[in-house]
Structure 1
Amino acid sequence: MAVRVHAFTDDALGEHDGVAIAELIRRGELSAAEVAKAARERATRVNPELNALVVDMDTPLVSADRDALLYGVPTYVKDNTDVAGLPTQHGSAAWRAQAAKAHGPFTKQFLSTGMTVLGKTTLPEFGLNATTEFADAAPTHNPWATGFSSGASSGGSAAMVAAGVVPIAHGNDGGGSIRIPAACCGLVGLKPTRGRHIDGPQARSMPINLISEGVLTRTVRDSATYFAAAERFWRNPALPPVGLVEGPAQRRLRIGVLTEPITGAPLDPQVRAVHDDTVALLESLGHEVRPIAYPVDRGFADDFATYWAMLAYLLGLTGKFTLDRTFDPARLDPFTRGLAARFRGTALRAPAVLYRLSRLRHAYAASFRDIELVVSPVLASLTPPLGYLSPDQPFDEVFDRLLNYVTYTPLANVTGAPALSLPMGASADGLPIGMMFSAAHGDERTLLELAYSLEAARPFRRIQQ
C-alpha cells in the first residue's frame, strides 16, 4: 500500500505558498524567524521518512534585504552548490568535503531573493542518475508514495517542497534534473534558458554547458516571483527580460505536440492518457495545437549518452584536482564507474559527438518559426519504485532503463532552451504525472503565462487532501 507523507499543519507556514508567506511577513503578521522555526519543525517530523536532507543548519541563513520579493521564505539549497560554512558533497562518498569558504557565484544570486536557507538537500552522485538513490546509503523517498523515487537529480529539494516543509527550494538541471523530480513529486519545475542565471563552477567547466539553475515550487506564482527576484540581482543582457509574470496572457498560442519517445521506447499508457488530456485542455483554452516532428533524429539520444558518459569519465580523471586531494575514483558508485567505462569504449567518437551537439541549438531555434511552444510528456514511463534505477544494480540494465525513461528532457539541456514541468495528472496509484512545455530561447515568460492558465483551469493536486 502506498504511504503518503506530508508536513502540512496549522503552524506559521500553514498551507501558504512562498508569495503569501513573504506578504504576511511584510505586513508584520509573521516574522522570518517564526516561519523558519515552523519549517525546521516540519523537517524534523518528516525527514526521517523521506531522507531528503544532507545538512540541517544550526542557525538558518537569513537575508538582510527586507525589500527582496521573497524575504523570509524558508528554503533549501541542493548539495552541489557552495554555501559558505557548509560542505558540498555532490551526493558522493568518493571524498569528504570540507566546509566551503565562500558562497558560490550562483548562491549569491539565489540569496538575493530574500529567502532563508535552512540547509542542503540530497542528490544522486554528481547528479548523474535520474533517481536520488545511493549505493552506500538510504534513498530519498517520494512523499506521495514512499516506496517510489523522488526523481533526480534535485530529488531532495523536490521531496521537501512536495511534503510541505518549504514552499520553494533550489534545483539545477543538466539533463532533466529540475523537471524530472517536479514530475515525480507533483511540482512546478522550470529549467531556464542557458545563461538566464549565473552559472556555477560545474557549468563553466563543461565542454558543452548543460546546466541551468532554478527552483522547484508548488505554485506557478512562486516560480514566477523567484525569476523576477533573481533578475533584480543580475540579468543576462543577451536574453530578453522575464520580469514579474503575474497571470496568464490573453493571446492564443500555436503549440506543437510531441508524443512518441525519440528512442523508440514505448510510452506508458497512463502517461499517454495524461498527455492526450493535456492536449485536449490546451485546445479547449483556444490554443492551436498540432503534431510536429522532432528537430533531431534518433542519433541525438546516442550522442547525448556518449556525452553523459564522458562527463563521468572526466570526473574520475580530474576529481583530485577539481574537488579534493582525497578524492578516490575507486569509491565512486557503480553507476558512475560504469558510465566512465562506457565512455572509454567510445572515446574516439567524442569529437564528432561534441560537434553535432554544439550545432543543435540552431535546429532547435528553427523549429519555433511557426509555433510558440511544444508540449510533451516529461518522462516516458511512470515514476519507478525505489531500486529500479539504483546505482548498485547492474550498469547495463540501469543505463538502458534511464535512456528510455528520460528520453524527452535532455534536448533542452543540449540546446540551452527553457522547459517547464507541470503536474497535469496522476497514475492509477495516485503518483503525479508531469507534462513538459518547451519554448524558444529566452521565452520563459510565455511558459509562465501558459502555466498560470493551466493551473487555473486544472488546479494542481494537493498532497494533504
Structure 2
Amino acid sequence: MKPSEYTDLDATALAALIRDREVSADEVREAAVTALAAAQQTTNGLVSGPFDTPLDHSADGPFAGVPFAIKDLITHAAGVPTRSGTRMLGAGVPMPADTALMQRFRRAGLATLGLTATPEFGFNANTEAVATGSVRNPWDRTRSPGGSSGGSAALVAARALPVAHGNDGGGSIRIPAAACGLVGLKPSQGRTSPGPDYADPLLGLGVEFVLTRTVRDCAGLLDAVHGYEPGDRYRLPDPARSYAEDARAGSRTLRIALHTEPFSGGGAVDPRCVAVVESVARTLEELGHHVERAAPDLDATAFDDANFVAWTSFLADGVDTVAAALGVTPGPDSLEATTRACADHGRTLRAADLYAAERVFNLSRRAVGLFHRTYDLILTPTMNVPNTAAGYLNADDPSLDARGWYDHIFSTAGFTALSNVTGNPALSLPLGRTDEGWPVGVQFIAPYADESTLLALAGDLERALPWADRRPADPTL
C-alpha cells in the first residue's frame, strides 16, 4: 500500500481491506509510519513514536490493524512513558498498567503507533507545551490546531492517522476538531470509562474519546469502546441500536435551538463562524427540521466563576500529585507560568468553594435538562473564531494570573464548556470554511446519554454537506 493510498482511507475502509485480506496490517503500518514521519516534520504532533511495532492489539477487533495514537494525557498504556506535556515528568514515567479505555482500544484492534502532544496538563485551547514544542495546524502552519487534543487533531487532519485519541474537559476534542476540519464527539459523562485512575476527572468535566475524519468512524469507534467498567460511578443505558446504524439510517425530524452567543468566556464571536452556523440552520430546515433561536437560561458569570474553580483545583491537584510522587519541587524550570499561577490559586480554595461551584453546575445541568424537554438539539458555533494564531494562547506568559489565563482561553471557546459541566454529549462537525480555506466547526449538543440523535443527524449532514474531498495540501505524500 502506497502512503498516498493509505491517506485516502478512513478507519472503516482500512479495517475492511485488512479483514478481507486485500492488504496486510503490516503494509498498512508501513504506509502509516511513512505518513507519520512526513506529518511530524510539518505538524510536530507526535511526542513519542512511531513505534517499531504497534502496541499489542486484538486481531479480531472491528478496527484490527488500523493505525492509531493516544494522547499523552489521562489514558495510558502499560510500560509506555507518559509526560502529560510537562517538564515535571522529565522524559516520561512508564505506567504500570493500561487504563480501561486503553484496554478497549486494544480490543477494538487499534494498532497504537505513538503518543500525541498535549499542552501542559491539558489546560489550553492550543498545543504548544514548552516540554515538547509547538504543534502546527496542517491547514495553515501559522495557525494553532487547537487544544488540548491538538497533536491528535493535527495528525488526523494531515491524514497521517485515520483516528486518534483525545479527551475533553472544556472543549479539548471539539476545539481541535473545529480548527482542523474533523469530526469531534465529546460523549456523555460516563459513556466511556475514566477508570481505574479516575472516578470523575476534573470534577466530572473530563471525558475520553477520539477524533476522526468521518462520521462512520466516530460512530463505529463509539460502538467499540463505550460501556461500563466495574467501579465506574455512572452506568448509562446502551443505545437501542448501534451508533453506526444510527449514522447510516439518518435522523427523525428534530426541533433545534440555534444560538450564536457564547455560554461562557465573554469573547466576541467571529462573523464568519456565525454565518456558517446560520447557513447550516437553513440546510437543516431544508432537510425538514424545525430551527428557531433559543437558549437555556444560564448565569454566565456564575458559570465562569465555578468553572474557574474546577480547573484551578484540578491543576493544583495534578501538580502536587506529580511533585509528591517524584519528590520534586515545582518551579519555573519545570512548570509553565500559567500552570504555576493556576496551581497556586487552586491551593487557596476551600471545600466550601468546591461545593459552591457544584451548586452552580447543578443549576446549569437543571436548566439545560429542562431546555431539552422542548428542543432535541442545540446548534452553535464550536469556537468563537475559526482558529487562533500559533502562540496566541501562550501558557508560559508570566503577565497572566490564573483568572487572566482562564479568561484568555475561554474568550476563544465560549460554546464548549457548558456540555462538560452538564455531562451532555456534544459534537463538532466541519461544515464550513473561510476564504483562507480554514475549516469552521459547528457544534450540536444533545440531551444527556443521547449520542444516537447526534450521530444520526451527523450522518445526514455529512451526506448533505460533504467534506471528504477537503484536505490540506501536502506535497510530501
For Structure 1 versus Structure 2, the TM-score category normalised by the shorter chain is: over 0.9
1:380 is matched with 384
Residue 195 of structure 1, CA deviation:
0.7
Taking structure 2 as the reference length, the TM-score comes to 0.90
Q: Map 1:172-321 onto structure 2 (within 5 A).
A: 172-200=167-195, 203-204=198-199, 206=201, 208-231=203-226, 237-241=235-239, 243-246=242-245, 247-263=248-264, 264-298=266-300, 299-321=302-324
- 8 A contact 2:202–2:314 mirrored in 1: no
- Cα distance in 1 for residues equivalent to 2:218 and 2:377: 18
Q: Deviations over 1:308-366 (max 9, x none)?
A: 12212222333334x53346355221121122234456656443113322453333221
Q: Map 1:328-339 onto structure 2 (within 5 A).
A: 328=330, 330=332, 331-339=334-342
- 8 A contact 2:200–2:206 mirrored in 1: no
- Cα distance in 1 for residues equivalent to 2:446 and 2:213: 21
Given the alignment, which residue of 440, 451, 458 partners 1:433? 440
| Residue 402 of structure 1 pairs with residue 402 of structure 2 | no
Residue 295 of structure 1, CA deviation:
3.8
SS in 2 for 1:434: strand
Q: 1:104 to 1:324 in 2, by over 3 A?
A: farther
| Residue 28 of structure 1 pairs with residue 12 of structure 2 | no
- 8 A contact 2:120–2:129 mirrored in 1: yes
Q: Map 1:148-163 onto structure 2 (within 5 A).
A: 148-163=143-158
2:84 is matched with 90
Which residue type is aligned with residue 83 of structure 2? Q
- 8 A contact 1:319–1:329 mirrored in 2: no
The Cα RMSD (Å) is 2.3
2:96 is matched with 101
- Cα distance in 1 for residues equivalent to 2:383 and 2:238: 29
Q: 1:155 to 1:144 in 2, by over 3 A?
A: same
Residue 53 of structure 1, CA deviation:
0.4
1:5 is matched with none
| Residue 462 of structure 1 pairs with residue 470 of structure 2 | yes
- Cα distance in 1 for residues equivalent to 2:3 and 2:45: 23
- Cα distance in 2 for residues equivalent to 1:360 and 1:109: 32
Taking structure 1 as the reference length, the TM-score comes to 0.92
- 8 A contact 1:12–1:34 mirrored in 2: no
Divergent runs of 4+, >6 A: 232-236
- Cα distance in 1 for residues equivalent to 2:189 and 2:131: 33
Q: Relative to structure 2, which stretch is displaced further, 406-415 or 293-302?
A: 293-302
Q: Map 1:346-425 onto structure 2 (within 5 A).
A: 349-393=353-397, 394-396=399-401, 398-425=405-432
Q: 1:289 to 1:280 in 2, by over 3 A?
A: same
- 8 A contact 1:319–1:327 mirrored in 2: no
- Cα distance in 2 for residues equivalent to 1:304 and 1:237: 25
SS in 2 for 1:58: coil
- Cα distance in 1 for residues equivalent to 2:329 and 2:346: 20
| Residue 340 of structure 1 pairs with residue 333 of structure 2 | no
Q: Could you tell me the percent identity over the aligned residues?
A: 38
* Structure 1 gap ranges (5+): 1-7
SS in 1 for 2:53: strand
- Cα distance in 1 for residues equivalent to 2:115 and 2:88: 19
SS in 2 for 1:107: helix
Which residue type is aligned with residue 343 of structure 2? A
SS in 1 for 2:13: helix
Residue 233 of structure 1, CA deviation:
8.9
- Cα distance in 1 for residues equivalent to 2:34 and 2:95: 26
* Structure 2 gap ranges (5+): none
- 8 A contact 1:112–1:233 mirrored in 2: no
- Cα distance in 2 for residues equivalent to 1:185 and 1:129: 16
